[in-house]
Structure 1
Amino acid sequence: MASVVLERVLNVIVLGPGYPDARTQDLFLMSSFWNVTILIVSYLFVIYWVGPAFMSRFSEPLDTYSYLVWHNLFLVIANALFGLSLLACLVYSNQNLLCEPVRQGDVASDLIAYLMYALLLLKIFELGDAFALVCKKLDPPFILIFHHVTIVAVVWVGVKYGPGGSATFPTLLNSLIHVLIYLHFKYGRRHLSQQQSRKIFILIYFVQFIVVTFLSGSAMYYKCGYPDWVAAVSILYNITLMLVYVRSVWSLWCTVRPVEYPSSSSSSSSESEDEIVLEHGKASTTTNKSTPHNNKKK
């Protein structure tokens, strides 16, 4: 399998990535990779420079509780509808989970292609997590920014060159996991401590990475017509995510920590904003440490 991946990478370098999907190539942001590159660079510029510079004008962090409530509610509903739609298409078209080509011309396959594009827009919307942290004068953890930025780029590649086929079930799995994550941000902390929640979600993420890597490898092995190089990108990306998350796994399972207890249902709004980072297994730190009020809260 490694030789196949290397061969496909070399072919992409020499011959190019192939032909884009006709259904998505003319949609917003899809005409050129420069579009999503400019979006990502602008996002990083705001998160690491413009946002902190603007927040330095305020002595207190902004209240983002209402924003996060509606942000998470929208993501729960959107991911649930997205996942159910994909599941219906997958069952209707009787797809093979081990290897399925990107089909065109039938209703289910065309709907899947446009759902994949909707997923890209949803991943762009999820970038708003970090804006809430910046408004709270918190440093967005590297793992959160890395995950959100890279997933936008990877999904763009899939939508451009392979919207559907063997990517359908992994996308469905990701959507269902995000429903659980964003529901937990609102309700799960009443029953689980932060450390317990992080352990559960890191484990879920690792299972997802392994499953997606296996299915992408299966698509390359059976050669049913799904673009090999898109599957190779998926494999390399999921392996990279596993390596990035190793530090979180070590700190959660191999470090002795004080026992944490679940917060009460009457938790303050400031605690709710901090829950954003549970998905990524690492707490953030305040950026304005010189503020006396913030030091007292810590």
Structure 2
Amino acid sequence: MEIINRIVDGYHDVMDNQSDPRTKDWFLMSSPFPTLAICLTYVFTVKVLGPKLMENRKPFELKNVLIWYNLFQVIFSCWLFHESIASGWFTTYSFRCQPVDYSRNPHAMRIANGCWWYYISKFTEFFDTIFFVMRKKFDHVSKLHVIHHGIMPMSVWFGVKFTPGGHSTFFGMLNTFVHIVMYSYYLLAALGPKVQKYLWWKKYLTALQMVQFVLVFFHAFQLLFIDCDYPRAFVWWIGMHAVLFYYLFSDFYKQAYIKKAKSMKLKEKVEVESSKVEPKERKLSILNGFSNGSALGDVRQRMAGAVASQ
């Protein structure tokens, strides 16, 4: 019982005394458990409940919904990217070491507010997967997709709770830029076949995601080697997320593009070789027919029949 009390007291000490007091009363910020519950509900819905509900139903036609949804995400991502730039990236923020400003001045509060909206954006991205399920594109609900979307709200929650600003917003700045490109691609794809034929650059989106995680990895872990007034725990938190996501996205890239391309080349090679072999086989079969006397026998039988009929 004493151990449980210590755990509970430690939890309240961290949440109440070591977190950012500016954000503790904001929506969903008082405790991590509502966010955790939403994330778990999302995973259960897209992996179990959704496919079960769609099992005997026709896929939904969501063309217009997808167009408006992706347009919203492009606009939302543009605004979030603008807010991250307004916070100081490429102007006053240092790429080497940027502590969090915990004051209540308007600029610091604007940064914290932007971090909270970035956290909310991770929930809106759940609809990417929900729409896959509704259209019965279950092969799109991959391990990468579910893990990435399923843990991001929980991950960002800790950032808003303890470090809403400073060094960690580098990841948000990069991520919102990538999402501008990504949702622009999805928007164009939703417009139909007339536009889709020009979308040859899909695989480069995955490459862009991988570059993003490499940059986040080096940007975060540089603080392990220099003095900076930024929590080391969050250095590891952000850096290890970059490692995890880089592994998942690189594995997806290999499976979806490299191995698929090799498989297609092998298939084409087999088809070419088959087209060369088949005519030879047909020629040999004809020659074999005459050489074994079968064709000649047929001719003789016809002649004998004609003589008999006379």
Counterpart in the other structure of 2:170: 169
Q: Secondary structure at the match of 2:88?
A: helix
Structure showing greater radius of gyration is 2
Aligned amino acid, residue 79 of structure 1: S
| Aligned partner (choices 100, 103, 116) of residue 102 of structure 1 | 100
After superposition, the Cα gap between the structure-2 partners of 1:142 and 1:169, relative to the gap in structure 1 and judged at 3 Å, is same
Measure how far apart 1:227 and its partner are: 1.4
Q: C-alpha displacement at 1:92, in angstroms?
A: 9.2
Aligned equivalents of 2:116, 2:187: Cα separation in 1: 27
- Structure 2 unaligned segments of length 5 or more: list them: 1-9, 190-195, 266-310
Task: Give the equivalent residue in structure 2 for 1:253.
Answer: 258
C-alpha separation between the residues in 1 aligned to 2:128 and 2:151? Answer: 15
Which residue of 1 is the match for residue 62 of structure 2?
Answer: 64
Cα-to-partner distance string for 1:157-208 (whole Å, 9 max, x where unaligned): 1111111100122211110110000001122634233xx412x112111111
Name the SS for the 1:222 alignment partner.
coil
Q: Which has the higher helix share?
A: 2
Contact persistence 2:125–2:149 (CA under 8 A)? yes
Q: 1:134 to 1:26 in 2, by over 3 A?
A: same
Q: Give the ranges of 4+ consecutive aligned residues of structure 1 lying more than 6 Å apart after TM superposition.
A: none
Q: Does the CA contact (< 8 Å) of 1:166 and 1:219 recur in 2?
A: no
| Matched position secondary structure for 1:98 | coil
Report the counterpart of residue 198 of structure 2 in structure 1.
191
Distance between the aligned counterparts of 2:215 and 2:206, measured in 1?
A: 14
Please report the RMSD computed on the Cα atoms of aligned residues, expressed in angstroms: 2.3
CA distance in 1, matches of 2:61, 2:113: 36
* Equivalent residues, number: 243
8 Å CA contact 1:90–1:168 kept in 2: the answer is no
2:222 counterpart of 1:218: yes
Normalization by structure 2: what TM-score?
0.73
Structure 1: 5+ residue runs without aligned partners?
1-11, 260-298
- For residue 134 of structure 1, what is the aligned residue in structure 2? 133
Give the drift of 1:91: 5.2
Identical positions, percent: 24
TM-score using structure 1 length: 0.75
Please say if residues 93 and 108 of structure 1, whose CA atoms lie closer than 8 Å, have aligned partners that are also in contact. no
TM superposition shift of 1:142: 1.6
**Structure of greater relative contact order (alpha carbons < 8 Å, 6+ residues apart):** 1
Distance (Å, rounded) in 1 between the aligned partners of 2:154 and 2:89:
28
